[in-house]
Amino acid sequence: MLFNKFIIVIAVLIWFILIVTALLAPFLTPFDPKVGSLGDRLKPPCWQNGGSSAHILGTDLLGRDVLSRLIYGARISLLVCMLAIVVAGCIGSLLGIISGYLGGWVDIIIMRVVDLALSLPVILLALLFGVLFGPSFSNIILIISLVLWSQYARMARGETLKIKGRDYVDLARTAGCSDASIMWRHILPNVAGSLIILATLQVGTVIIIESSLSFLGVGIPPPTPSWGSMIAEGRSYIVSAWWLCMIPGLAILFTVLSVNVLGDSLTELLNPALRREYVS
């Protein structure tokens, strides 16, 4: 139990540092992440022979500071996560609640589309959309939203089916409330907890998708710094300049692991039955 609390504290600390550095990126970065000097190209980190205290994490093949690009890459990742999850969550939750509450042919049509979306590999589907729409910040938001909305729809429908037969929903219907009012005032607040948990757990998925698309050249376009594009640019130098791939790769690893820990903790917090089983 004590070890689990220690892991949670570490995860919270990682995300606190990530959010603070992303918000204060213009004040924390020592160099412009898009501008480099060819005279300083491929300098190793400061603790390695040939390194410099001016470039703590070294420089890339164009002489750009790796630390500055890493910090701005965190800002891109967090912004993509926030916008993509909000868009996908709103679309999927709306369709899922409508499908579960109305039922009939509406439910059949929406769920068949959801089944089709869930049957396709996430990365393959995102790559297809990336090739179709092209690389840009707005397109990456649209692509990830199109990939993830179906999971929210499936969960929202399942929770709605549990709730719509309860007494307070029947009373609201008897009192003359419209379907839209019932879904907004009585269904949505009761499914929000499960959707928040899903959104938390999907932060890691969004980061991996964005990094993968940027690595493949259909995500955030250069010279805007992105963790995935940093790994792609450094893969040809993995032997001679290990820091180009290793440092952004570790950033992705620790970010995804920490958010998964926080997601599991939130699940236990919002699910009393699971919390009782965990404590026992």
CATH number at residue 70: 1.10.3720.10
Is the pLDDT at 268 greater than 80? The verdict is: no
- The CA distance from 80 to 210, in Å, is 8
The answer to whether the beta carbons of residues 219 and 210 sit under 8 Å apart is yes
Residue 26 in any domain: the answer is no
What pTM value is reported for the model?
0.83
- Flag whether 90 is in a domain: yes
Name the band, by pLDDT with cuts 50, 70 and 90, for residue 272.
low
Whether 225 and 34 have beta carbons less than 8 Å apart is answered as yes
Residue 223: how many other CB atoms lie within 10 Å: 14
Asked whether the beta carbons of 145 and 84 are under 8 A apart, the reply is: yes
What mean pLDDT comes out for the span 258-277?
67
Q: How confident is the model at residue 42 (pLDDT cuts 50, 70, 90)?
A: confident
188-209 pLDDT tens trace: 888 888 888 888 888 888 888 8
Number of domains forming the structure of the chain: 1
Does 130 score more than 90 pLDDT?
no
Angle at 235 between CA 123 and CA 135, to 5 degrees: 45
Q: Decide if 213 is inside a domain.
A: yes
pLDDT in tens, 64-87: 999 999 999 988 888 988 999 999
Domain hosting residue 152, numbered range: 42-253
Does 170 reside within a domain? yes
Model confidence at 63: pLDDT above 80: yes
In a domain, 258, yes or no: no
**Total residues found in the chain within this entry:** 280
Distance CA 159, CA 111 (A): 14
**In-domain check, residue 192:** yes
Q: Is residue 5 part of a domain?
A: no
Place of tokens 């800002």: 75
- Does residue 51 sit within a domain? yes
Query: How far are the Cα atoms of 8, 70, 228 from residue 18, in angstroms, in the given order?
Result: 15, 10, 17
Q: What is the pLDDT of residues 208-219, one digit of tens each?
A: 888 888 888 888
